[in-house]
Structure 1
Amino acid sequence: MNYNPFDKKDISELNIEDLKSLLENEIGEGWYIEYKRDVPKLKSKKLDNIKIAKSISSFANTKGGWVFWGIDSDDKNKPTSLNGFDISEHRNFEDQISQIINANISPKPYYHFKKIDLENGNIILVIKVDESPTPPYITSQGVIYQRENNESKPIKDRYIIEKLNEKTNDYYEAIERFSNFNLPETKGQSDWNQTYLELYLFPTPFDNFTFKKFYSSDFFKNVATRFYQNVDINLNIDNADSVIPLNLGFNSIYSSEGSLIIRPLKENNLIYKSTTVELFENGNLKFLIPLYEFDSRDIPERYKNSNTINYLLDKYSPSETVEQTSYGGFGMPMPPPNKDLPPITRRRETDFVNHIKFIDGMELILTILIIVSKY
């Protein structure tokens, strides 16, 4: 559950009128709301790392919530004024807060900032803490906090900590279940021994995003247009800028249960397993890429000068100089070296060619770049 006192309005869209509504509607402190007149500071006026981490981690370990620095409250925990606070003494204020949170809470929780300027020159900082998926979130003091009514309190009950660990396990198991791409092959294609790369992308936290109007015809058309179009790659070659349009040949899109599947189809591969992209309503993406492989007998021209390939060849299939022989017919014993022919240098015959294959990394990286840019 992600509680929102602003009627589902995104934090990035908040303004002073939204903050005034907290006072008008008497939205008090509690499980999901915390008000502070000022940013937590030490007597030395430095930011109080411990208090900041305590507050943020408690919301992350519970159901998420909203922290408002610069809003005062009364003894009934109701907001009373929007006076804000002065950040002129803090350089790169929001960066400092991010660094404090990231350095003093492990693992890192999910949170968002919104700084709202006031007419008096002060600011109010709104921090939205998401219900984070991999608890417990532990402070640098080694304490696990949770939100209890309007306070952040240490968790002392072992059962609660075990439930937090279960939540984390469930989260990673959901990712494991998603990371599976079962596309069938035709019998003829299965004999090719083709290798594929499976990649999985998803917004974080996992399964916490939804495309608007995913099942509408407009969304369908927009996805098709995006994947069918070229991707322009900007290159600088010999100090000259150039743009290269690239395309994977996507020309087919169809809907499945909860997803859209995009593929490049040709007349001779309508049923073959090929480059495939599957986009889900929750923003997740699976894609399958056939890998172009080669061995040391069939090295593409662009890799002939590869330091890596040449190193491996020199190590496992080194060059050797041998005497040439006269031609021997089938079934005849190997003739002795022919003194009239010069010796030749060649790669020694080893098992390297049979056991080692190379992946065309250039083609693979370009394919990934194209798909990710469209995503």
Structure 2
Amino acid sequence: MQSYSPFSKALRDLQSADLQYLKQASEGWYIEYKREVPNASALAKALSAFANTYGGWLFLGVQEESKESPVAGSFPGISKDEVDPALQRMRKSAADSLNPTPHFETCVLWGPDASIDLAQDRAVICAWIPQSVTAPHVHKSGHIYRRVADSSEPRPENDRFVLDQLWRRADAIKRHHKEWYDQDPEFSEREEELPYVRLMLVADRWAERDVWLEESEDEVRALLSEPAGVSAIPFDTVHTSSDGFIARQLKGNDPQNLTLTWRLRRDLTSDVIIPLPLYQRDRPENLSIDLNGYEYAENFMGVLGKYTTSTLRVVDLNYLFNILIGVAGIQDRLCELAGWKESYFLKVKVLNAWRNMLFIDVQEIIQRFDKFGPPMCLDSVAHLPRGTGPESYVEISRHSDMDNETARMLVQSLLMFHPLAVLFGVPSWIPHDDNDTVTPYHEALQGAGRRAIEVQRRRNSQSTR
């Protein structure tokens, strides 16, 4: 969503000298100047008014020239001791006085700067508030404030038509998410019988932040084609599309098939399509060929042998967790490339999974299958979280405070794994006991993934003999 800015650069790139552009920018629809830090209620009024109208900028430590000429006249700044309390007051006032809390971003520009006469140990606080699609933001006084052209002060809104427009502002973004949810990949006739996982990843789910991947095709290709994190899923084929990039794993695969695919848009919205191996046999014992090399294959076939069946369709989920670690690694690097410092959001869909049983080569999972019966997908298409709107996603924290990259990727991948585990009917977590008799779940899942790679390697070796 594009919005007005008095500057020719992003907020994060501003320097104190850029404030001189405010000498031609008048207070009104998009800008408000405050010489001192207002009280909490006034801050909340200003923030909500911008969010409810067209978005805008609030500057603390700037004096307007005059009422007749309401441009920035001087930059007295805020004292060093007041800056942190002012930022905290702004955040707290928005959280405590407004419902819902609008999004805004801040930066602090320090003196000394002779070009604008900003003194040493004085600072101007800049706050950018985008137009909000979650409007109206209601003040704790019960009023809904908006900006008006002829006044720097927000005014309560009581026009029913305007209020209706505010309530309906999110309709377009909700339709966008619903259309995106409905856009499953196109399958060939053979692929319609095969199971897939679709990961829907988005950074700015409400489309308020103008996040954009500006890098060149070669820079994006280098990121997607290099191993990422503790589990490498490099894409050997990366090319442009109408709205971004398509990355695929084609080495050793027929390019006509829907292989592991990442569709990346410039706004950091992604579809990741993960094909799942499917084994079809008429009797449990005949699965031994497909599962040869797995540590707990015999236990799994023993579980299936308890049930009378004419046809078995078994989905091999052993690759899945390691692929998710690789997805988390690439997504984290894409966020860094686009300058996105916050969480991203996830929705998962399972496609073509009707009446499929599941196999994960983890002892504790097989034991649960033996005790409670093997799970089976009873829906051809399933998704989590429920719903299709922008609020219906799992938040994936990037844990930027963690220095260990491996640990960060594991935490993100476990958050990705949770909704898939729920959909497939497998444990989303197995507690690790103090006696080390149970392998930590993430290590067990990674071990199953390594065995899956070895099983596939043997299978490929035998097929070439």
* Same topology, TM > 0.5: yes
- CA offset at residue 157 of structure 1? 0.8
Matches within 5 A, 1:167-316: 167-191=169-193, 193-206=194-207, 208-212=210-214, 219-233=216-230, 246-291=231-276
**Paired letter, 1:155:** E
Decide whether the 8 Å contact of 2:35 with 2:61 is kept in 1: yes
Decide whether the 8 Å contact of 2:32 with 2:57 is kept in 1: yes
Decide whether the 8 Å contact of 2:147 with 2:154 is kept in 1: yes
For 2:87, what is the secondary structure of its paired residue? helix
Counterpart-to-counterpart distance in 2, 1:362 and 1:78:
56
**Paired letter, 2:325:** L
Q: Which residue of the partner structure matches residue 32 of structure 1?
A: 30
Are 1:131 and 2:131 an aligned pair? Answer: yes
Q: Which residue of the partner structure matches residue 390 of structure 2?
A: none
Query: In terms of Rg, which structure is larger?
Result: 1
Counterpart-to-counterpart distance in 2, 1:90 and 1:5:
23
| Match 1:82 to one of 75, 95, 102 | 75
- CA offset at residue 147 of structure 1? 0.3
Q: Residues 359, 4 of structure 1: CA spacing in aligned structure 2 closer, same or farther, 3 A cutoff?
A: same
Counterpart-to-counterpart distance in 1, 2:54 and 2:268:
22
Identify unmatched segments of 5+ residues in structure 2.
Answer: 112-118, 335-465
Decide whether the 8 Å contact of 2:62 with 2:77 is kept in 1: yes
**Paired letter, 2:166:** L
Deviations along 1:55-96, one digit per CA (max 9) or x if unpaired, are 001001111111111112223233332112235257554244
Q: Which residue of the partner structure matches residue 340 of structure 1?
A: none
- CA offset at residue 126 of structure 1? 1.0
- CA offset at residue 275 of structure 1? 1.2
Q: Which residue of the partner structure matches residue 122 of structure 1?
A: 122
- CA offset at residue 52 of structure 1? 0.9
- CA offset at residue 301 of structure 1? 8.5
Deviations along 1:281-339, one digit per CA (max 9) or x if unpaired, are 333222111245799x679998959xxxx9xx9xxxx99xxxxxxxxxxxxxxxxxxxx
Q: Which residue of the partner structure matches residue 437 of structure 2?
A: none
**Which structure shows the bigger proportion of residues in helix conformation?**
2
Runs of at least 4 residues off by over 6 Å: 297-303, 353-358
Counterpart-to-counterpart distance in 1, 2:295 and 2:37:
58
> RMSD over aligned Cα, in angstroms?
3.4
Decide whether the 8 Å contact of 1:261 with 1:279 is kept in 2: yes
**Paired letter, 2:38:** P
Counterpart-to-counterpart distance in 1, 2:120 and 2:329:
49
Deviations along 1:107-144, one digit per CA (max 9) or x if unpaired, are 33221111122324332211111122221122233321
**Paired letter, 2:5:** N
Matches within 5 A, 1:330-349: 348-349=306-307
Q: Which residue of the partner structure matches residue 2 of structure 1?
A: 3
- CA offset at residue 348 of structure 1? 4.6
Decide whether the 8 Å contact of 2:33 with 2:63 is kept in 1: yes
Q: Which residue of the partner structure matches residue 373 of structure 1?
A: 332
Q: Which residue of the partner structure matches residue 160 of structure 1?
A: 162
For 1:175, what is the secondary structure of its paired residue? helix
**Paired letter, 1:221:** D
Matches within 5 A, 1:12-51: 12-23=12-23, 25=24, 27-41=25-39, 48=40, 50-51=41-42
Q: Residues 106, 269 of structure 1: CA spacing in aligned structure 2 closer, same or farther, 3 A cutoff?
A: farther
Counterpart-to-counterpart distance in 2, 1:124 and 1:250:
46
Counterpart-to-counterpart distance in 2, 1:198 and 1:88:
46
Counterpart-to-counterpart distance in 1, 2:222 and 2:160:
53
Counterpart-to-counterpart distance in 1, 2:133 and 2:254:
42
Q: Which residue of the partner structure matches residue 95 of structure 2?
A: 102
Q: Residues 266, 139 of structure 1: CA spacing in aligned structure 2 closer, same or farther, 3 A cutoff?
A: same
Query: How many residue pairs are counted as aligned between the two chains?
Result: 310
**Paired letter, 2:195:** Q
Q: Residues 369, 282 of structure 1: CA spacing in aligned structure 2 closer, same or farther, 3 A cutoff?
A: closer
Counterpart-to-counterpart distance in 2, 1:89 and 1:2:
29
Q: Residues 84, 276 of structure 1: CA spacing in aligned structure 2 closer, same or farther, 3 A cutoff?
A: same
Identity of aligned residues (%): 21
Counterpart-to-counterpart distance in 1, 2:323 and 2:143:
45
Q: Residues 136, 292 of structure 1: CA spacing in aligned structure 2 closer, same or farther, 3 A cutoff?
A: farther
Counterpart-to-counterpart distance in 2, 1:266 and 1:166:
48
Q: Residues 278, 101 of structure 1: CA spacing in aligned structure 2 closer, same or farther, 3 A cutoff?
A: same
Decide whether the 8 Å contact of 2:202 with 2:270 is kept in 1: yes
Identify unmatched segments of 5+ residues in structure 1.
Answer: 42-47, 234-245, 320-345
Decide whether the 8 Å contact of 2:237 with 2:248 is kept in 1: yes
Decide whether the 8 Å contact of 1:175 with 1:206 is kept in 2: no
TM-score normalised to structure 2 length: 0.58
